[in-house]
Structure 1
Amino acid sequence: MYSQALNDGRKIFAVAPMIDWTDRHCRYFHRQLTGEALLYTEMVVADAIIHGPRDRLLGFSPEEHPVALQLGGSDPAKLAEAVRIASDFGYDEINLNVGCPSDRVQSGTFGACLMRMPELVADCVTAMKRVAGVPLTVKCRIGVDEQEPEAVLPEFLARMIGAGADAIWIHARKAWLQGLSPKENREVPPLDHGLVHRMKEENPDVFLGINGGIADLDQARHHLDQMDGVMLGRAAYQNAGLLAEVDEKIFRAPHRDVDWTALCETMTAYSERVLAQGGRLNHVTRHMVGLFQGYPGARRYRQILSTESTKPGAGPQVIAEAFGAVDVAGSPEPAMEAARKAG
């Protein structure tokens, strides 16, 4: 995937891995909107895969492809074993998390704190690469705490490349491991997109993607003029409608209007299957709330999904009711303005 992208100049657009957000129901929904974007799982800890319920942790729908599994851990042997187990599930990529700043991640000695231990991360990458039959990638920050990104990031990238990483996704912010919450770590440390762009200039033969603070597809295209890939997180989740434009605006696919009726029917049928397997309606609908940003009736749509889906016995008809509240023929407001009004 990544070597071909470098060879033929094809760019990659990805929806970032987000804990508690990008579960299998979210990814199934996102895939209905874009056939081309690379979708990531939530971070799954290697120990959980080795000792926990594998089908629940790793299972996904075939329709989600291409889909990447993000792993968390710092023990090369355990990570390699997790990769071996995951290989039976058919993921298109395995990614190592070196960017999450949460306390619970730090307590397990993985995530962003590993930016301080590039030798260990390189050992992890080498061990994982040895058993992975698909691209093995890393997602990192530009540095943590008192580190100077201009000095730290080039060395970190060199070690990952030397260890065999097929691609590196760089979140263009430092992570402060003490004093800032995970939410604040997504907003407070200043962005340094320029540094990430320079890393690409210095590594023309290595796939480097950029993440962090990218709000819409216009900004995404700007970054793709200089980077091999672009990754959106909250912007894609909270305004999922922009994913319906990814194939055309990023991958130059022919324009097609969204068939909202078909989307409603697809998600209704999917919800029926989830309910039949013991799930709850809001396990699916909570990921759909941001779909109609800017459309007339969007507020009512959000109200229906947010309130009716959580009631005891809620069924898939709630989705049809919510879709019915939206005037899809109306002109949506610009994405940024719609997102601002949605809060």
Structure 2
Amino acid sequence: MLDWSDRHCREFHRHITRHTWLYTEMVTTGSLLHGDVQRHLEFNPGEHPVALQLGGSEPADLAQCAKMGEEWGYDEINLNCGCPSERVQKGAFGACLMAEPQLVADCVKAMKDVVSIDVTVKHRIGINDVDSYEFMRDFVGQVAEAGSKTFIVHARNAILKGLSPRENREIPPLKYDYAYRLKKEFPELEIILNGGIKTTDEMTQHLQHVDGVMIGREAYHNPYFMASFDARFYGDDSPVKTREEILHAMIPYIHRQLELYGNGGKGLRINSVIRHMLGLMMGMVGARAFRQTLSDSKKLALGNPNILIEAFERMQTITAYDRSAEELSA
């Protein structure tokens, strides 16, 4: 997710679930070929399994960047054919690529030719007013012939003009049946469903029809929702970390980042890590106080990772009565 699933976010999420595949935010080929490669590709080995999502439309450039990703240790290369933002469209990649399946196939083949790891594709069900099942089926079929065996289906149409990226995640109706049909028609492909999935019960239901599910916004806004994934979907009954244990585990990570990059200025801004953790206490008494403490600009400016413990301790002072009073006055 662009601007969301950076390495700090993935580090945090890995403390919640050990087995769930994590994806980088979309990294453009231009950023890698002409920018700071280390900043874009560096990650903690503890993040595995982790996929690098690329944005681009030039086969040679994508091949070069896919090779970089493999050399840096990523487990998968994912081509973004689903982002509808105007900024991405100006670069001629993202969802607009669905109109050019042969180009996407060429891009996939170019990457497959130079890496040994999987090359996967994330896409929508259609673009603008073209959203028939047949359109998506033909797109997937043509790209699959180039060697991609895994397709992540965001089960909404992408409206390229008139809707913001956020509106594109909410307004176009979800058509899960398209992904179900795709799996029936291409049983040899791995079909992963994405879009609007918020509960483990929904995930279990979808998994009766497809091979996997991808969680986006819910994993970000309510991250501890993922704490049950390892046992429920991967058969790992190892104890999961409590929310408090996760806070304590993140403190040494933040200290290491501060040692490497410094605090503030051109270094690490502590909020770049902590912003991903605001939803950790969602649904719990005192969650609002927790968020307020972690959003205090004066406290954040001090660059002290112990703000996490301060936020947790403040949360403990809130009673159920206090929470009810807050809600009534809101």
> Aligned runs of 1:230-269 on 2, under 5 Å?
230-254=213-237, 256-269=239-252
Quick one: which of 301, 305, 313 aligns to 2:290?
301
Correspondences of 1:46-85 after superposition (within 5 Å): 46-85=29-68
- Does the 8 Å CA contact 1:112/1:140 hold for their aligned counterparts? yes
State the partner residue of 1:224: 207
Q: Which runs of 5+ in 2 are unaligned?
A: 263-267, 321-327
Q: Do the aligned partners of residues 74 and 281 (structure 1) sit closer, same or farther apart at CA in structure 2, a change above 3 Å counting?
A: same
Of 307, 316, 326 in structure 2, the residue corresponding to residue 318 of structure 1 is 307
Deviation at 1:148, TM superposition (A): 3.2
Name the SS for the 2:25 alignment partner: strand
* Conserved 8 A contact 2:16-2:240: no
Rounded Cα–Cα distance in structure 1 between residues aligned with 2:297 and 2:128: 44
User: Match of 1:77, SS?
Assistant: helix
Quote the residue 1:289 is aligned against. 278
The answer to whether the 8 Å contact 2:128/2:157 transfers is yes
After superposition, the C-alpha distances for 1:249-278 in whole angstroms (9 at most, x for unaligned) are 222322635334432221011111122222
Note the C-alpha offset of 1:323: 2.1
Distance 1:319 1:179 in 2: 40
Letter in 1 for 2:310: E
- What does the per-residue CA deviation read over 1:171-213, in whole Å, with 9 as the maximum and x for residues that have no partner? 0000000111111100000100011111111111110100011
Give the aligned residue type for 2:311: A
- The answer to whether the 8 A contact 2:299-2:307 is kept is no
Q: How does 1:5-16 map to 2 (within 5 A)?
A: none
- SS of the counterpart of 1:325? helix
Query: How many Å separate the matches in 2 of 1:202 and 1:147?
Result: 20
Report the Cα distance in structure 2 between the residues aligned to 1:237 and 1:148, rounded to whole angstroms: 28
Q: What pairs up with 1:1-343 in 2 under 5 angstroms?
A: 18-254=1-237, 256-276=239-259, 277-278=261-262, 279-308=268-297, 311-327=300-316
Report the Cα offset of residue 308 of structure 1: 4.8
| C-alpha displacement of 1:166 | 2.6
TM-score calculated relative to the size of structure 1: 0.88
Equivalent AA in structure 1 for residue 77 of structure 2: I
Distance 1:123 1:255 in 2: 43
Q: Given residue 289 of structure 1, which amino acid in structure 2 is its aligned partner?
A: L
In structure 2, relative to structure 1, the CA distance for the partners of 1:176 and 1:260 (3 Å cut) is closer
The whole-number CA distance in structure 1 between the counterparts of 2:189 and 2:275 is: 37
Unaligned runs of 5+ in 1: 1-17, 332-340
Matched residue of 2:13: which SS?
helix
> TM-score under structure 2 normalisation?
0.91
Deviating more after overlay: 288-297 vs 249-258 = 249-258
How many residues are treated as equivalent by the alignment? Answer: 315
Specify the code of the residue in structure 1 equivalent to 2:18. Answer: G
Q: Is contact 2:294-2:300 (8 Å) kept? A: no
- What is the alpha-carbon distance in structure 2 between the residues aligned to residue 24 and residue 105 of structure 1? 21
Q: In structure 2, how many angstroms separate the alpha carbons of the residues matched to 1:230 and 1:325?
A: 36
2:265 is aligned to none
- Dislocated runs of 4+, deviation >4 Å: none
Tell me the distance in 1 between the aligned counterparts of 2:66 and 2:58: 12
* Contact 2:59 2:107 (8 Å CA) reproduced: yes
Deviation for aligned residue 1:327: 4.7
Q: Distance in 1 between matches of 2:174 and 2:244?
A: 40
Letter in 1 for 2:73: G
Q: Distance in 1 between matches of 2:169 and 2:243?
A: 32
